[in-house]
Chain A
Amino acid sequence: MSLKRDNGKMNKDKTKEQLKNELVELRQSIAGLKELEAKQKQVDEEIRLLLSLIQAISEAENLNAALEIALKKVCEATGWDYGEAWIPSPDGTVLEFSPVWYSSTGNLKRFRSLSEKFTFPPGIGLPGRIWSAMQPEWIPDVSMSPETVFPRVQIVKEAGLKASLGVPIIARGDVMAVLLFFMLGSREKDKQLVDIVSAVATHLGSVIQRKKNEKELQEERDNAQRYLDIAKVIIMVIDADQKVALINKRGCEILEYEENEIVGKNWFDNFLPTRVKDEVKAIFEKLMEEEPIKYFENPVLTRSGEEKIVAWHNTLLKNDKGKIISTLSSGEDITERKHAEEELRKAEAKYRSIFENAIEGIYQTTLDGRIASANPAFARTLGYASPQELITEVTNVRNLYVDPDHRDELIRLIQAQGFVENFEVQFYCKDGKIVWFLLNTRVLRDSSGIVCFEGTATDITDRKRTGEEILKLNRELERHIIQLGEANKELEAFSYSVSHDLRAPLRAIDGFSNILLKKHADKLDDEGKRVLDIIRINTQKMGELIENLLTLSRLGRKEMALSDIDMCGLAKDVYEELRATVPGRALQFNMKTLPAAIGDIKLIRQVFVNLLSNAIKFTRLREIAVIEVEGWNEKNENIYYVKDNGVGFDMQYSDQLFGVFQRLHSEKDFEGTGIGLAIIQRIIHRHGGRVWAEGKIDEGAIFYFTLPIKEEKYDGFE
């Protein structure tokens, strides 16, 4: 530059010497100018090289492509015959041979394939030294170098390469690569050339650095997107203008839209049910004003019109200046959980209703005797206005027990088997009354042990009382049965002795009266004989009475032999037999149809004997005795009657008719023991039937009896 300035100082008044000197100077200046020109040209070339390099490297897709371009351009522009690159190994211990290279001449295949086997640790060989020093190095002729300086000296000799320049490519303070350039001829160090190549290398470093940054950023972006996509929640950014700036894959899935159908759209107008739009918008606005709303739930509207409930957590995004620009929300689809909660709530309400309205008492008590919960029924039964009153006033459930030992026993049983069924206890009511409860209790445990006891309490006070009454009645009944049994035994013993002991004296009276009449007749006058006859008649009479009484008593004990009975045939038979005993009487027997019956034929025969003989007896005063027998079926029984036109009876005494020894006529008018109808009644009752009579004095009588059709009613308890 100084030459240029001096060039302008030429003077018109110059001496020859001066001119000569000036000429020399001028020549020198011209030379300088030429030099300057050449320099300028070189700078221009450098600039051009750099520009084309920048262009090319910037467009390079990766490091290798950039290196390849750099090697080629440097060689072409600055006269190098061969360029290669060395790259640090992934573990950073050595430099390795790079597949990228450039050559303008000759066959360097052998050199390359042999070089491939070399690696250079830091400080070793030309690449290693450049790597360590991070400085360019020039060797005028590598083929003359010792092996310690240039390990590949042998193969480089063969290749004919001599001058060599190595430069590091530095990015972020690390050597990314070492570039080596070779010439076929030897050459001293050219500083300018070193500068140019170094400048290229430096630029290459910064390009690589930038490329690397871009790549990392892209990777980060990809990662972030991946995280967003694999997230199981909706992640969404809404800008201040209410439009969706970002939504992840999960969000799209839930809303059933494509990402581009959501991003850029107004969130509130498009993806919320109308009824909640304003409400949610208000929440958003509050959020944007930094009101602390961390969590809220709202329904969203999917493409198909379905509503899903989403629970949102929110945070704010701010720009560099701290201004809020958007909300970042993560949203979880809790529709199913909400439904489950709803179901749970309904179920809870249902069970709560059962609990509240149950007739049975339901309770939970703690191990230390507190009532943890009780339903209204339990409180009510114990006389408390509310469960709360019960829980407050009964501080220890033990106090409810009439016998507190029962509580201990209950707990012992529960602990032993985990539950207790139908445990009967007496509890005191609020007013001191005692109620019986039937407890069904089980234990509730968690990992720490017994939590509480819970169960039901059924008020069995009434049942108990009824049970006790039944027990009492049963005891009474048993006593009665025993008494009845004893009475029956007594009756049997009685009739047995009647049978034996009462008859013997009668026989003696009759026998000896007879002997008196026969053997001592000469000592008796007529009156004496008449009196003896009276004695004998009464003896017979008493014998008959005893006979009938025994019959009656036996009827109650004798087992019945049931069979089908032809009632017509039976009645006719009996009538014929009886008619034969009264030959002089005029009898008219009207036999109508009688339904067949089931019964003990001997006993039923006795009924007809008694009824028909009564009919014959009480019609004695009639010129023609009319006797009628009939029967029919009615519901579950057959009704039979025997009717006569005899002396009849006064209906007001009809209830006495069937009693033992009950007679409505004098012995003088109509003989009889007064047992006949009692026997009929006993027989019919044993068959499960009924007897009754209708009559009117002097207008005859009708005696009815029924026999059930179904067998099961026969022979009931007598």
Chain B
Amino acid sequence: MTDLNEVEILLVEDNPYDVELTLTALKENNLTNKVHVLNDGAEALEFVFATGAHAQRNIKNIPKVMLLDLKLPKVNGLEVLRKMKSDERTKKIPVVILTSSQEERDVMESYNLGVNSYIIKPIDFNKFIDAVAKLSLYWVLLNRPPH
């Protein structure tokens, strides 16, 4: 398992099949090394704020990108986004909403909260692989995060 202080892609997704398909897509692009998967919003918050189960983690080590689903158990994706973007320590973490929702209000709300990107998961597997691959490559390889 990846060292939690070196996580590059943080995937927050409760649906195991979506997790598997996403990881499949990442694997096809050799990006699975530093991926960490979290299954609900509460866990995601503990991870980024280095609290609870993740209290040992250094909060200063931030992932290159967080792929965040909206519909999550315990704390939903928009709430996770709100908390992260309203805290100086976590607001710089690039967050990409990766969701099935095409709802305009979800899109608007996410951007209002400061999301970095909003991607709708295609149903078509090939398109889905393509989308995940492109966004991961972009954020992990092309994007230059602040230090």
Contacts and interface: CB of A to CB of B under 8 A. Distances in A.
A554 B102 CA distance: 10
A26 to B, nearest CB: 183
A347 to B, nearest CB: 74
Given A496-B103, A508-B18, A550-B102, A503 B124 contact: no
Given A540-B124, A543-B123, A507 B24 contact: no
B100 interface: yes
A323 interface: no
Given A499-B101, A500-B70, A515-B24, A540 B123 contact: yes
Interface in A540-558: 540, 543, 550, 554, 558
A499 B102 contact: yes
A539 B125 CA distance: 10
Interface in A482-513: 496, 499-501, 503-508, 510-513
B103 A499 contact: yes
A562 to B, nearest CB: 18
Question: Chain A interface residue count: which class?
Answer: 20 to 34
A508 B18 CA distance: 7
B126 interface: yes
Contact of B17 (A511, A514, A554): A511
A510 B70 contact: no
A589 to B, nearest CB: 31
B121 interface: yes
Contacts of B15: 504, 508
B102 A504 contact: no
Interface in B72-102: 99-102
A510 B124 contact: yes
Given A499-B100, A558-B104, A507 B123 contact: yes
Contacts of A503: 100, 121, 123
Interface in B19-65: 21, 24
Nearest to B25: A511
Interface residues of B, number: 20
A507 B104 contact: no
The SS class assigned to the B binding surface is loop
Nearest to A499: B101
Contacts of B71: 500-501
A264 B141 CA distance: 145
A501 B121 CA distance: 12
Contact of A539 (B70, B102, B123): B123
A511 B21 CA distance: 7
Contact of B123 (A506, A550, A554): A506
A508 B104 contact: no
Nearest to A505: B17
Contact of A507 (B70, B102, B128): B128
Contact of A543 (B24, B99, B124): B124
B101 to A, nearest CB: 5
B15 to A, nearest CB: 5
A507 B121 contact: yes
Contact of B101 (A500, A506, A511, A513): A500
A501 B103 CA distance: 13
Nearest to B69: A500
B122 to A, nearest CB: 8
Interface string B100-130: 1111100000000000000001111110100
A515 B125 CA distance: 9
Contacts of A512: 17, 21
Given A500-B70, A539-B123, A543-B124, A507 B18 contact: yes
A543 B70 CA distance: 19
Interface string A352-364: 0000000000000
Nearest to A536: B125
B114 to A, nearest CB: 22
A513 B126 CA distance: 11
Contacts of B104: 554, 558
Contacts of B70: 500
A510 B128 CA distance: 10
Nearest to B13: A504
A543 B121 CA distance: 12
Given A500-B71, A504-B17, A504-B18, A511 B100 contact: no
Interface in A514-569: 514-515, 539-540, 543, 550, 554, 558
Contacts of B126: 514
A554 B124 CA distance: 22
Q: Name the residue among A504, A505, A510, A513 with the largest chain B CB count within 10 angstroms.
A: A504
A658 to B, nearest CB: 24
A496 B105 CA distance: 11
A504 B99 CA distance: 9
Contacts of A515: 24, 125
Contacts of B24: 511, 515
A550 B123 CA distance: 15
B99 A500 contact: yes
B123 to A, nearest CB: 4
B95 to A, nearest CB: 18
Interface in A152-201: none
A507 B15 CA distance: 11
Interface in A19-61: none
A569 to B, nearest CB: 26
Nearest to A510: B125
A511 B125 contact: yes
Contacts of B101: 496, 499-500
A507 B99 contact: no
Contact of B100 (A500, A513, A558): A500
A301 B102 CA distance: 107
Nearest 8 CB-CB pairs, A to B? A508-B17, A543-B123, A514-B125, A511-B125, A503-B100, A511-B21, A500-B100, A510-B125
26 contacts: A496-B101, A499-B103, A500-B70, A500-B100, A501-B71, A503-B100, A503-B121, A503-B123, A504-B17, A504-B18, A504-B100, A504-B121, A505-B17, A507-B17, A507-B18, A507-B21, A507-B121, A507-B123, A508-B15, A508-B18, A510-B123, A511-B24, A511-B128, A515-B24, A539-B123, A543-B124
Given A501-B71, A505-B17, 8 more contacts: A499-B100, A499-B101, A500-B70, A503-B123, A507-B122, A508-B21, A511-B125, A515-B24
